[in-house]
């Protein structure tokens, strides 16, 4: 099956990640993002060139363009405001140190996201919080075969999900799964972009996203069962 089907052939699951998605929460606030093949925003391109040459004001402009997305990513990953601020600060400090090395092989926003993700993962590893590291999440896990998702039809989520319960379930995901779920389903990155950011194959990204969704389904069903009992 092709990786780029016509929009009319897509399921809701796949449509979330496509460029034609008009949902502002998923795609709207992403300056210069998701279009590695397209020309970058001229404002960003100019600021980038100047910042690479050491222009402080241009760097401030890049911060202004990307601060929301980087801060939001950090916040979604760690769930703590103070920590998210520290991580955002560290990501932009690293950007300042490394910006001259950006060669334009990918979109700047993808490159910056990758840098921020590395900062977040380093922090998670330092804290020992991730039950499954990104590396482990990228490895095939035979014990988590498709059989795990079998369940009686009467336990379906019935098309309605408690938002808070889902946020809790996402927060409880192992870091590797959480990262891919957030990048794809929340932020709207495509599998090829995630694969480039995380140095994994597109197939791996699809597979890990699927496992993340299965884990969320399991958590939400357990939550629904507990609520039904109480």
Segment 30 to 49, residues that bind other proteins, using CB under 8 A: none
Choosing from 50, 75, 118, 144, the residue that interacts with other proteins (CB under 8 A) is: 75
Given 128, 140, 142, 159, the residue binding other proteins (CB under 8 A): 159
Q: Does 103 bind other proteins (CB under 8 A)?
A: no
Contact range with other proteins by CB under 8 A, out of 9-17, 44-52, 102-110, 172-180: 9-17
Q: Given the rule CB under 8 A, which of 33-41, 54-62, 103-111, 123-131 is the region that contacts other proteins?
A: 54-62
- Per DSSP, the residues of the chain read --SS--GGG--HHHHTTSTT---IIIIIT-TT-S-TTSPPPHHHHHHHHHHHTT-HHHHHHHHHHHHHHHHHHHHHHH--HHHHHHHHHHHHHHHHHHGGG--SSS-HHHHHHHHHHHHHHHHHHHHT--SS-HHHHHS--GGG-GGGG---GGGS-TT---HHHHHHHHHHS-HHHHHHHIIIIIT---HHHHHHHHT--HHHHHHHHHHHHHHHHHHHHHHHHHHHH-
What residues between 113 and 152 interact with other proteins by CB under 8 A? 145-147, 149-152
Binding of residue 222 to other proteins (CB under 8 A): no
Q: Under the criterion CB under 8 A, does residue 167 sit at the interface with other proteins?
A: yes
Q: How far is the CB of 65 from other proteins (least distance, A)?
A: 12
Size of the site for other proteins (CB under 8 A): 72
Q: By CB under 8 A, name the one of 37, 153, 226, 229 that touches other proteins.
A: 153
Using the rule CB under 8 A, is 98 a contact of other proteins? no
Any contact of residue 14 with other proteins (CB under 8 A)? Answer: yes
- Span from 34-42, 102-110, 111-119, 183-191 in contact with other proteins (CB under 8 A): 183-191
Instruction: Round to whole Å and give the CA distance between 98 and 77.
Output: 23
CA distance 209 to 207: 5
Q: Which residue lies nearer to other proteins by CB, 37 or 158?
A: 158
Least distance in angstroms from the C-beta of 213 to other proteins: 5
Distance separating alpha carbons of residues 230 and 227, to the nearest angstrom: 5
């Amino acid at each position: 099956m092709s990786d780029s089907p016509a929009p009319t052939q897509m399921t809701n699951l796949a449509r979330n990640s496509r460029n034609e998605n008009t949902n502002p929460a998923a795609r709207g606030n992403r300056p210069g993002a998701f279009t590695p093949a397209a020309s970058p925003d001229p404002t960003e391109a100019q600021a980038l060139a100047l910042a690479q040459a050491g222009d402080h004001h241009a760097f401030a402009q890049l911060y202004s363009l990307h601060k929301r997305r980087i801060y939001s990513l950090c916040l979604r990953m760690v769930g703590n405001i103070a920590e998210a601020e520290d991580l955002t600060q560290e990501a932009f400090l690293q950007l300042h140190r490394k910006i001259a090395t950006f060669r334009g092989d990918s979109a700047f926003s993808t490159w910056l996201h990758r840098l921020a993700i590395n900062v977040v993962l380093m922090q998670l590893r330092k804290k020992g919080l991730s039950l499954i590291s990104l590396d482990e999440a990228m490895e095939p896990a035979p014990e988590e075969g498709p059989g795990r998702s079998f369940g009686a039809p009467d336990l379906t989520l019935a098309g309605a999900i408690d938002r808070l319960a889902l946020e809790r379930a996402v927060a409880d995901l192992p870091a590797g799964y959480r990262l891919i779920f957030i990048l794809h389903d929340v932020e709207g990155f495509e599998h090829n972009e995630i694969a480039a950011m995380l140095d994994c194959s597109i197939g791996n990204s699809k597979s890990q996203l699927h496992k993340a969704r299965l884990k969320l389904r399991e958590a939400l069903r357990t939550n629904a069962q507990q609520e039904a009992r109480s």
